[in-house]
DNA sequence: CTACTTTTTCCACTCACAGGACAAAGACGA
DNA sequence: TCGTCTTTGTCCTGTGAGTGGAAAAAGTAG
């Protein structure tokens, strides 16, 4: 299939494309119910979209009591590539234009190997997905990186955990390689967009999405739109001070949240506890595996290990304290917790909830759900697909 | 003069009204340069505005080399009332449609006397301004109250420091009394709007406005618009924990920022220090005045009193710590410090700056001005006038 | 007084859009 | 099977918003 290059010609067309993306196939009449355009105008715009090839007619819709109508749907041949580069692994997925995941693969990889090596990996994974028959090419790609991004240009700026990426023209380079439009964003923002599109945040306009992985970040959604801040570093909550004069952090300060709780901190604490003989469970895992990760702690906790549970609770308290402050400040309608350590599950969630509900004022917490993300590792790639589709489905 | 009741009939007219409000009198040609409408269309819309009486023709503009044009300006007879209800005093001001303050009076009053008593006072002050010939009536009024507000209805919700106001229909009641449209908002949000309209934040889209008065609050501006949160309590940073297991706070928790630094806390600390004989300066002021306030501390600090300076520095550190967290999270383009304690001036500012620049990451602080508000007590009333003008200058 | 600018008005033309009329296609009861 | 009703899709015309050219009006500069 020839790749699509068309873009909606006006706001109406953009609106229709987004309705079809979010609501699936629809008849003209159903679309008409949603957009407040006259039937004639609607017909014109739909015809134009059909001409561009972005949408296709597709069989008959169910009858609503009278003449049956033909369905309109986004071209089922359209393909988006969603890429989520984490600190320690890469996720790549293919979606159709309705952002349904058709294929998803994960590969461990250290982001510090630098953009060239990571790109090679990403392209290999994309090729693999193509080879398995899921796509012949891509109409657009979204990519998330674990650090701040100058959003309009798609260039990482001063990313602490991926120094080799500073200033690397990610958008431009990937666009060259893939031959399609590309948008770049912070991985946390993409997770927020993913949960907004297909997860727990579907109906909420203002929410926070806290991602606890190797580091800690927070996606901020205001009025349905991701807020990125003046320099693209909004949501960088890993270096908020959680413990006065606490542990030294890589950033040079002491007591940063990330130094006390994160995938990396948790692994280190668990190893220490195991070596000090505080937990037989952790010690045996340390011996078997040669090292401990957040996954081991989760498993130990699930097995009832008191030390592991304490570590999680302690971390949840720290995180909850910081989130409580953010809740007071931002007064969100929902807080989503996600990222690698969601395996820690309800122990973590309970600790966070306790802190937030205790420390923030009732007006802010009264009707505030604090929940785990629904999409897991798919949130990032779904958000990435959503990012590029938002771009492509906007007037040029 | 008959009060204006007209509203702009479409978005173009609204746009023009706001240009005239923010930019003062303009010729048709100058307006045309700013709005991207054809000359004919512009002429039509201006004519309609002239018909409504919202704008008037007003003399000749300076020549730009050819035929001189007639100026168009907002009707100079329009009057807005700006009301800023603080914890311990009430400010009322009259502005014209360009939001220039024509008269401003202040009256000490405890907000806890309740809405009826306060309204009586506000109406008396408004009457006084009228009597002095500044206005014959009001075309709209904005009012700020020191607590969270359900914005669309203009009703305070669960305000901690003004319990008697909970659920009181401020907007409705004041609108009845004044016979004009009224909008109600949190006083901190109005301060932010004031500084945005006429103060230091004129050119910044995303900024924070921290008001330190009897309590502490923070106005949040995202993309030029005030962000109020899901329940209207966004920016309520007074009860963020600044000191683990710190002082007990009226909210039931310990270590809230407000318990450690605010007008009230500062007065209490100063009194304590004076009684313990730590500062002769403060002790003598305590004896003379019968009590100490933030103003006394400011004066003592200005006189070089070490204890007063320490108190201010200590408070600034606490506040700076909290602000540092907010800066990491929100990545604003500017932080404005305002409110009653701005009298503490540069000692306070320096302490805050030190903390923020030390604790937040360079990417967020790199180009981040932290400045005192420019408008002082006028910020609130200017913001209030701005609030109602934004409302009235939008299509009905 | 002339040449040139800028501002303003006037007017004809285009285009988006609404909404009515009508045809097409199916549902459903008799 | 037939006729009626409902829904859907197409065609067409009227309306109003808006553009841009032409010319008049009112200046400036020399």
Give the per-residue SS3 of B164-219.
HHCCCCHHHHHHHHHCCCEEEEEHHHHHHHHHHHHCCCCCCCCEEEEEECCCEEEE
Are the beta carbons of B331 and A253 separated by less than 8 Å? no
A110: domain range?
80-196+378-392
B:42-61 residues touching chain A, CB 8 A cutoff: none
Report the pLDDT value the prediction gives residue A289, as an integer from 0 to 100: 76
Q: Is there a single domain that holds both residue B260 and residue B213?
A: yes
Q: Is there a single domain that holds both residue A35 and residue A108?
A: no
Are the beta carbons of A328 and B240 separated by less than 8 Å? yes
Q: How confident is the model at residue B272 (pLDDT cuts 50, 70, 90)?
A: confident
Encoded tokens for A242: 């959680």
**Contact predicate B162/B145, CB 8 Å:** yes
- Classify each residue of B301-315 as buried b or exposed e, where b means 16 or more C-beta atoms within 10 Å of its C-beta: beeebebbbbbbbeb
**Contact predicate A113/A162, CB 8 Å:** no
Q: Is the CB of B41 under 7 A from strand C?
A: no
Are the beta carbons of A229 and B331 separated by less than 8 Å? yes
Residues B178-215 pLDDT 10s: 999 999 999 999 999 999 999 999 999 999 999 998 88
Sign of the CA dihedral running A312, A313, A316, A322: negative
Neighbours of A377 (CB within 10 A): 21
- Å from the A34 CA to the C21 C1': 24
Instruction: From chain A, pick out residues whose CB is under 8 angstroms from the CB of B258.
Output: none
Q: Is there a single domain that holds both residue A171 and residue A269?
A: no
Dihedral angle of Cα A220, A226, A231, A232, to the nearest 10 degrees? 80
Cα-based distances in Å from A47 to A15, A75, B73: 15, 14, 47
Nearest to A328 among B232, B236, B330 (CB): B236
Report the pLDDT value the prediction gives residue B1, as an integer from 0 to 100: 59
Spatial neighbors of B55 by CB under 8 A, at least 6 apart, are: B16, B17, B20, B46, B49, B72, B73, B74, B75
The mean predicted confidence, pLDDT, of chain B is 91
Higher pLDDT, B203 or B267: B203
Nearest to B361 among A206, A233, A331 (CB): A233
Nearest to A359 among B220, B253, B368 (CB): B253
Residues B305-330 pLDDT 10s: 888 888 889 999 999 999 999 999 99
Instruction: Tell how far CA B1 is from the center of its chain.
Output: 29
**Contact predicate B81/B87, CB 8 Å:** no
- Å from the A23 CA to the C25 C1': 26
Contact status of B384 with chain A (Cβ, < 8 Å)? no
Report the pLDDT value the prediction gives residue A351, as an integer from 0 to 100: 94
Q: Is there a single domain that holds both residue B361 and residue B238?
A: yes
pLDDT at B343 over 90: no
Instruction: Tell how far CA B230 is from the center of its chain.
Output: 21
Q: Is there a single domain that holds both residue B35 and residue B148?
A: no
Nearest to A236 among B240, B332, B364 (CB): B364
* DSSP-assigned letters across all residues of A352-396: HHHHHHHHS-HHHHTT--EEE-SSTTHHHHHHHHHHHHHHHTS--
Q: Is there a single domain that holds both residue A294 and residue A191?
A: no
Instruction: Tell how far CA B268 is from the center of its chain.
Output: 26
For residue A299, being part of any structural domain is answered with: yes
Q: Is there a single domain that holds both residue B346 and residue B310?
A: yes
Query: How many Å apart are CA B81 and CA B93, to the nearest integer?
Result: 6
- Å from the B378 CA to the D14 C1': 54
Report the pLDDT value the prediction gives residue B383, as an integer from 0 to 100: 98
Please give the residue of chain B at the shortest CA–CA distance from A150: B363
- Å from the B62 CA to the C11 C1': 30
**Contact predicate A114/A156, CB 8 Å:** no
Q: Which residue is nearest to nucleotide C26 (CA to C1')?
A: A67
Contact status of B251 with chain A (Cβ, < 8 Å)? yes
Q: Which of B150, B177, B167 is nearest to B114 (CA)?
A: B167
The percent of residues in chain B predicted with pLDDT above 70, rounded, is 98
Which of A205, A233, A323 to probe the B interface (max B CBs under 10 A)?
A: A233
For residue A186, being part of any structural domain is answered with: yes
Report the pLDDT value the prediction gives residue A189, as an integer from 0 to 100: 98
Instruction: Tell how far CA B291 is from the center of its chain.
Output: 28
Contact status of A193 with chain B (Cβ, < 8 Å)? no
Cα-based distances in Å from B52 to A204, B55, B157, B174: 40, 8, 37, 25
For residue A46, the distance in angstroms to the closest alpha carbon of chain B comes to 27
Q: Is there a single domain that holds both residue A242 and residue A181?
A: no
Q: How confident is the model at residue A2 (pLDDT cuts 50, 70, 90)?
A: low
Sign of the CA dihedral running B275, B279, B281, B282: negative
What's the N-to-C CA distance of chain B in angstroms? Answer: 23
Are the beta carbons of A218 and B329 separated by less than 8 Å? yes
pLDDT at B346 over 90: no
Check which CATH number belongs to the domain holding A384 and give it. 3.30.420.40
Q: Is there a single domain that holds both residue B69 and residue B124?
A: no
Report the domain count for chain B: 3
Check which CATH number belongs to the domain holding B59 and give it. 1.10.10.10
pTM of structure? 0.93
Residues B21-79 pLDDT 10s: 999 988 888 888 888 888 888 988 998 898 888 999 887 777 777 778 888 999 999 99
Instruction: Tell how far CA A186 is from the center of its chain.
Output: 9
What's the N-to-C CA distance of chain A in angstroms? Answer: 23
Instruction: From chain A, pick out residues whose CB is under 8 angstroms from the CB of B252.
Output: none
**Contact predicate A315/A265, CB 8 Å:** yes
Please give the residue of chain A at the shortest CA–CA distance from B218: A329
């Amino acid at each position: 299939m020839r790749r699509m290059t068309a873009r909606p010609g006006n706001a109406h067309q953009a609106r229709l494309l987004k309705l079809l993306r979010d609501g699936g196939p629809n008849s003209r009449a159903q679309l008409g119910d949603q957009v407040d355009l006259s039937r004639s105008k609607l017909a014109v715009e739909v015809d134009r979209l059909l001409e561009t090839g972005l949408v296709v007619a597709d069989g008959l819709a169910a009858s609503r009591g009278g003449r049956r109508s033909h369905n309109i749907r986004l071209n089922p041949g359209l393909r988006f590539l969603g890429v989520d580069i984490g600190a320690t692994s890469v996720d790549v997925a293919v979606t159709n234009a309705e952002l349904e995941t058709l294929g998803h693969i994960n590969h461990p990889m250290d982001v510090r190997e630098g953009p060239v090596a990571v790109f090679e990996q990403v392209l290999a994974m994309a090729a693999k997905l193509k080879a398995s028959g899921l796509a012949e090419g891509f109409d657009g790609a979204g990519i998330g990186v674990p650090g701040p991004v100058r959003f309009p240009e798609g260039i990482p700026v001063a990313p602490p955990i991926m120094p080799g990426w500073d200033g690397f023209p990610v958008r431009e380079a990937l666009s060259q390689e893939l031959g399609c439009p590309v948008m770049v964003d912070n991985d946390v923002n993409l997770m927020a967009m993913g949960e907004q599109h297909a997860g727990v945040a579907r109906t909420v306009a203002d929410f926070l999405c806290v991602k606890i992985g190797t580091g800690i970040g927070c996606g901020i959604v205001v009025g349905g739109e991701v807020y990125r801040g003046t320099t693209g570093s909004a949501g960088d909550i890993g270096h908020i001070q959680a413990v006065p004069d606490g542990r030294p952090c890589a950033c040079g300060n002491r007591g940063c949240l990330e130094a006390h709780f994160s995938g990396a901190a948790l692994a280190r604490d668990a190893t220490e506890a195991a070596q000090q003989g505080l937990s037989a469970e952790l010690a045996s895992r340390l011996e078997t595996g040669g090292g401990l990760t957040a996954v081991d702690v989760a498993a130990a906790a699930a097995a009832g290990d008191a030390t592991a549970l304490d570590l999680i609770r302690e971390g949840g308290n720290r995180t909850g304290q910081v989130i409580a402050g953010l809740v007071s400040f931002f007064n969100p309608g929902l807080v989503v917790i996600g990222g690698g350590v969601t395996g820690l599950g309800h122990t973590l969630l309970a600790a966070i909830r306790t802190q937030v509900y205790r420390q923030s004022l009732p007006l802010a917490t009264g009707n505030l759900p604090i929940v785990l993300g629904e999409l897991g590792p798919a949130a990032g790639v779904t958000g990435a697909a959503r990012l590029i589709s938002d771009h492509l489905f906007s007037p040029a």
